[in-house]
Structure 1
Amino acid sequence: MDPLTVVTFVVAGVASLFMAWAIGAGSSGSTPFAPAVGANAISVMRAGFFVGILGLLGATLQGANVTEAVGRELVVGTTLPPIAAILALFIAAALVAVGVFAGYPIATAFTVTGAVVGAGLAVGGDPAWAKYYEILAVWTLTPFVGGGVAYATARLLRQEWLPDVAAIAALAALVGAILANVEFVLLGPADTAQSVSQTIATTGLGVVGVTLFIAAVAAALMGADVRRDAAAGQRHFLIALGALVAFSAGGSQVGLALGPLLPLLDASEVAIPLVALLFGGGLGLLVGSWTAAPRMIKAISQDYSSLGPRRSIAALIPSFIIAQVAILLGVPISFNEIIVSAVVGAGAAAESGGVSRGKMLYTVLAWIGSLVGAGVLSFGLTAVATSL
């Protein structure tokens, strides 16, 4: 490998790690446990610690789909040259880092998507309209679906006629059924992912049978926990949901840091196993979560809505579902958008929800500005750099 190629990979690797750190400090590190922190189920520092570990696991086991989408599906007809990939990563990471230190949740997926698309168009690529429509549909539906499901769940959990044991057990069964069908890269054959239900189904039980069994076990365990102590059981379920969302965040967000590296690897003779690449990106997320996430955890948990355990549970369930759907589709999605929408929906279920409309307005403007700003800036700088 010639010296120029080595330097290119080093610079691109630094840019990717910077992006992974910014994501870990922002969306994937701060949002998953924010409702649990807001409900006083876990401390800010402990949440930051666990979200880093869980994000690393999620990145390694579920990060392939979004990584492929960001690296190869946002622009067609061309491959990002090294300078374009490096500029896209640094621009996106810088904008996300500004959001972290300013206390506003910049939508990482918007920022990275805008930067990659802007860089790709600047080097002569064509828009991938089919992928854009899919992404736009998910981004548009997320606040309505997430907020709506969170609101409905929070209202249901507030009903006096519904015992906590029955409600929590039913929700645990739903989560268990979804978890049984989540795909993990290490469970399938080479270069493919497979779910727990698909893996166990080969023994003759069938996918439906395995799914129902895991759902029943989850319901029984949570139901027994709530019977022993209702308040403790709710906290345990809330922390478990936060862990699942943190895991999902790693699987979704690592692709935003690693995706732009794929064209560089394709054009070189370097062969790096995808799992090893995902693990390296997960380490970047972990460092970001451990060093800077507590600031954003506090901002989201306290500034958007004062949530109790029930409304926090209501916020995390749709967050987990939406995140896994996006991973399955290979759509880059912002966990800030997911969690904030769900938190607002859950908070609106009670008159004392404390939702800050001013904060939400600034947040939405930051999301739109990050998408447009990253795209324009990346397009301009890449056009100048490639013309020199």
Structure 2
Amino acid sequence: MVATGTLLTFVVAALASLFMAWAIGAGSSGSTPFAAAVGANAISVMRAGFVVGLLGFAGAVLQGANVTEAVGTQLIGGVSLTATAAIVGLLTAAGLVAVGVFTGYPIATAFTVTGAVVGVGLALGGDPAWAKYRQIATLWVLTPFVGGGIAYTTARLLRSPRVPERYAISVLGGLVGALVATIEFSLLGPAGESASIAAALGADLPVGASVVAAVCALLVVAVLYRGLVTDPEATQRRFLLSLGGLVAFSAGGSQVGLAIGPLVPLLDDFAVPLPAVLAGGGIGLLLGSWTGAPRMIKALAQDYSSLGPRRSIAALIPSFAIAQAAVAFGIPVSFNEIVVSAIIGSGYAAGGGGVSRRKMLYTVLAWIGSLVLALALSYGIFTAIDVVVA
């Protein structure tokens, strides 16, 4: 039987996780996916907040396991996080993220959670997981260049007078369709595993998964091309909303692990299944999106409105792709970093687009500061608590 004090500590850790999920939903994962669509007048602020909450919940349940397990078990070696360590790490990270939400400072969630978990893990006497750190650092460093580069190239393609827009958007839609067909969902695989739409259909048909993905891509190309010929403005708006929905879904899958990951080492002791915890984290994201995201969406939409539909599309495509790569490899990633990089890339495609180098520098410094501050605070707080209790 679990001791009452131990159970109470777990409950406190779960509440801290729920607060973290709320802060994430109210911040980057709840506000960035549909800010472009709101800025382009494709959807209202309140409706965007409602839809992004539902899609974030779905992403958390269907794709959240990889990042959740990575945050909970792969950031530190030699020890498992205790309930107290989880509480300290979560409250430290959530506090910093909440400060960012209410003050407007660009506090990156992945940086704060990673730093906080590593900090309490080191304070527990754990060993640095250098291999995982290299993997994380590689994605974090490449994201601005890859995301920004893809957004720049896409925006230039959409602005080019030599390429008719109906061809460019149709092909881009086909690439997105192929990616959707190949990403994995927990409901499509056997128990405890995930599978893609292409793999699931390919197993039941006399063709391989690659053929199914190609057919999905062609179907999207055909639908978009027909729409762009008959009603280009409405079709472009629907494509932008679809991209926003995919980014919102991906945000749920990649960001829920930042909230509930520290609880993973505690689940076996309390016989709590991971899907139930993913659902709880998804509810936290949903509540954050519904209560806090509309204000952030409205503020961000003013920045996005200068992009226009084409540059918004150019920014959302790499955001979706990078978020799904992070989900597939189980790497905690900052949605702020992904989206800001894509916005900057699409901005340069228009001759700079009002991109401020000084603001870029401050943003990068804030990201690095978030990581270092979270690590130092969580290490110091847990060490102090350990000394007092001992």
The Cα of 1:61 is off from its aligned counterpart by: 0.1
Pick closer, same or farther for the CA change 1:305–1:387 going to 2, 3 Å: farther
Q: Which amino acid aligns with 1:321?
A: A
Superposed displacement of residue 209, structure 1: 1.0
Match in the other structure for 1:235 = 237
Matched to 1:279, the amino acid is A
Do the aligned partners of residues 355 and 41 (structure 1) sit closer, same or farther apart at CA in structure 2, a change above 3 Å counting? farther
Give the structure-2-normalised TM-score. Answer: 0.96
Tell me, yes or no, if the aligned pair for 1:117 and 1:375 is still in contact at 8 Å.
yes
Q: Which runs of 4+ in 1 moved over 6 A?
A: none
Q: Which residue of 2 aligns with 1:92?
A: 93
Structure 1 length normalisation: TM-score?
A: 0.97
3-state SS of 2:188 partner: coil
For 1:206-225, list aligned pairs within 5 A.
206-225=208-227
* Cα distance between partner residues in 1 of 2:120 and 2:195: 34
**Displacement, 1:304?**
6.9
Aligned equivalent of 1:326: 326
Q: 1:260-275 alignment to 2 at 5 Å?
A: 260-266=262-268, 268=269, 270-275=270-275
Give the match for residue 107 of structure 1.
Answer: 108
Aligned to 2:354: 354
Q: CA separation in 2, counterparts of 1:345 and 1:264? A: 41
C-alpha RMSD of matched pairs (Å):
1.3
Provide the C-alpha distance between the structure 2 equivalents of 1:56 and 1:363, rounded to a whole number of angstroms. Answer: 28
Match of 1:117 in 2: 118
Superposition deviation, residue 110 in structure 1 = 0.3
Q: Distance in 1 between matches of 2:361 and 2:34?
A: 23
Q: CA deviation at 1:303?
A: 3.7
Q: Secondary structure at the match of 2:57?
A: helix
Aligned residue for 2:287?
287
User: d(CA) in 2 for partners of 1:17 and 1:76?
Assistant: 25
Which aligned pairs between 1:27-176 and structure 2 lie closer than 5 A? 27-176=28-177
Judge conservation of contact 2:33–2:245 (CA < 8 Å) in 1. yes
For each residue in 1:245-297, what CA deviation from the matched residue of structure 2 results, as whole angstroms up to 9, or x when unmatched? 0000000000001100011223x1x2222222111100000000111112322
1:244 alignment counterpart: 246
Q: Does 1:375 align with 2:375?
A: yes
The 1:342–1:94 alpha-carbon spacing in structure 2 relative to 1, beyond 3 Å, is: same
C-alpha distance 184-91 of structure 1, shift in aligned 2 (>3 A): same
For 1:159 and 1:169, locate their aligned partners in 2 and report how far apart those are by CA, in whole Å.
15
Deviation per CA, 1:173-214, whole angstroms, max 9, x where unpaired?
100000000100111111111111111111222111101111
Q: CA deviation at 1:32?
A: 1.1
Whole-angstrom distance in 1 between the partners of 2:162 and 2:311 = 17
Aligned equivalent of 1:257, options 245, 249, 259: 259
Q: How big is the shift at 1:343?
A: 0.8
Secondary structure at the counterpart of residue 187 of structure 2: coil
- Structure 1: where are the runs of 5+ without partners? none
How far apart, in 2, do the equivalents of 1:301 and 1:359 lie? 18
Greater Cα shift, 93-102 or 161-170: 161-170
Q: Tell me, in whole angstroms, the C-alpha distance in 2 between the residues paired with 1:358 and 1:231.
A: 35
Query: How far apart are the structure 2 equivalents of 1:250 and 1:17?
Result: 14
The whole-number CA distance in structure 1 between the counterparts of 2:99 and 2:190 is: 41
Give distance in 1, aligned partners of 2:356 and 2:194: 41
C-alpha distance in structure 1 between counterparts of 2:143 and 2:129, whole Å: 21
* Pair 113,352 (structure 1): closer, same or farther in 2 beyond 3 Å: closer
Deviations, residues 92-127 of structure 1 (Å, cap 9, x unaligned) = 001000001112331100000000000000010000
Residues 283-337 of structure 1, C-alpha deviation per residue, up to 9 Å, x if partnerless?
0000001111123223333247711110000000001110101100000000010
- In 2, Cα distance between the equivalents of 1:195 and 1:152? 28
- 1:8: which partner in 2? 9
| Distance (whole Å) between structure 2 residues aligned to residue 131 and residue 2 of structure 1 | 34
The separation in 2 between residues aligned to 1:196 and 1:271, in whole angstroms, is 31
Tell me the distance in 1 between the aligned counterparts of 2:278 and 2:384: 31
Q: 1:352: Cα distance to partner?
A: 6.7
For 2:181, the equivalent position in structure 1 comes to 180
Query: In structure 2, what is the Cα distance between the partners aligned to 1:254 and 1:66?
Result: 8
Q: Residue 191 of structure 2 aligns with which residue?
A: 190
CA contact (8 A) 1:176 1:214 kept: yes
